[in-house]
Chain A
Amino acid sequence: MASSKKVYLTDSAFYAFINRVHTRHNYAQAFFRYFAQEEYALFTDTETITQAYNQIYKEVSPALAKDFLRTIFISDINIIYPDESDIKAALKTLVNYQSLDLTFSQALMAVLANRRGVPQIATFDYLHPLFGLNTFFLPI
């Protein structure tokens, strides 16, 4: 199946990549290696970065959290800065969505990925089936 070389990264992907005792650390490593080899365009947003930063800060160390921020802004990962219309669209999605376990940041991420034409999301969390977005899997 031919697929677009665009992937959206969630905080769980960053955290699993950095934290070597994370149960999904090896998967996360394989993901990033594959993205680099295949020259994928990676996307993330400021909200996701903040969440990853907070998680690293609390669970690992504040120094590493600071390093993470410094690195992510010089990396070739495309950072999306949500504007007013993105926030409003995410809020509308959240209000209209039936399931109560969808969070605002997940809705925002889905809106941003959809608007930027990113069809896949690399995550280790449950992904809500919004706008036809799919979870990224490594091809075997």
Chain B
Amino acid sequence: MHNIAYMENLLNVNQVAFILKVHPLTVRRYIKEGRLKAVRAGGNIRIKESQLVEFNKDFSQTPKEAVVRSKLVVSKRFSLNDPLFRLRGRGASINLSS
């Protein structure tokens, strides 16, 4: 009796699919691929609430994306002393229609 009181909340495939906003077959695929851990209650698949929370964490930003975004921070500022200004109007194309 004491153990049952502390037993974790279990969800079925349809409930998990509803929460994750995916098709139930997708949830079954996640389980098959081992991405989402599930338990068998009799012959039925059940997912622990804690496992679902853990699974949701997998969708957070990956380190690779974080590295890409960190590149954005360091960016040089353009100024009036830039060497590009030396090229201003330096050429004239022969084809005047361009």
Q: Which of B79-96 contact A (CB under 8 A)?
A: 79-80, 82-96
Which are the 5 A-B pairs with shortest beta-carbon distances? A20-B89, A60-B91, A41-B75, A59-B93, A76-B76
Q: How far is the CB of A48 from chain B (nearest CB, A)?
A: 14
Contact (Cβ within 8 A) B90 A37: no
The CA-CA distance from A3 to B78 in the complex, in Å, is 17
Q: Is A105 located at the chain interface by the 8 A CB criterion? A: no
Contact (Cβ within 8 A) A22 B80: no
Q: Which of A20, A29, A72, A76 has the most CB of B within 10 A?
A: A76
Known contacts A17-B88, A71-B84; A76 and B93 CB within 8 A of each other? no
Q: Is B19 located at the chain interface by the 8 A CB criterion? A: no
Q: Is A68 located at the chain interface by the 8 A CB criterion? A: yes
Q: Is B53 located at the chain interface by the 8 A CB criterion? A: no
Q: Which of A18-43 contact B (CB under 8 A)?
A: 18-23, 25, 29, 32-33, 35-37, 39-43
Q: Looking at chain B's contact residues, is the secondary structure mostly helix, strand, loop, or mixed? A: loop
Q: How many residues of A contact B (CB 8 A)?
A: 37
Contact (Cβ within 8 A) A19 B93: yes
Contact (Cβ within 8 A) B76 A19: no
Chain B residue at minimum C-beta to C-beta distance from A26: B89
Apart from the given pairs A20-B89, A43-B75, 11 other A-B contacts in the complex at a CB distance below 8 Å:
A17-B89, A18-B87, A32-B85, A39-B77, A39-B79, A60-B93, A68-B87, A76-B76, A77-B78, A78-B75, A116-B72
Chain A residue at minimum C-beta to C-beta distance from B96: A21
Residues of A within 8 A of B85 (CB): 32, 36
Q: How many residues of B contact A (CB 8 A)?
A: 25
Contact (Cβ within 8 A) B84 A59: no
Residues of B within 8 A of A74 (CB): 83
Known contacts A6-B75, A77-B78; A67 and B95 CB within 8 A of each other? no
Known contacts A59-B98, A71-B83; A25 and B76 CB within 8 A of each other? no
Contact (Cβ within 8 A) B93 A67: no
The CA-CA distance from A76 to B76 in the complex, in Å, is 6
Residues of B within 8 A of A41 (CB): 75-78
Q: Is B4 located at the chain interface by the 8 A CB criterion? A: no
Q: Mark A75-117, 1 if CB is under 8 A from B, else 0.
A: 1111000000000000000000000000000000000000111
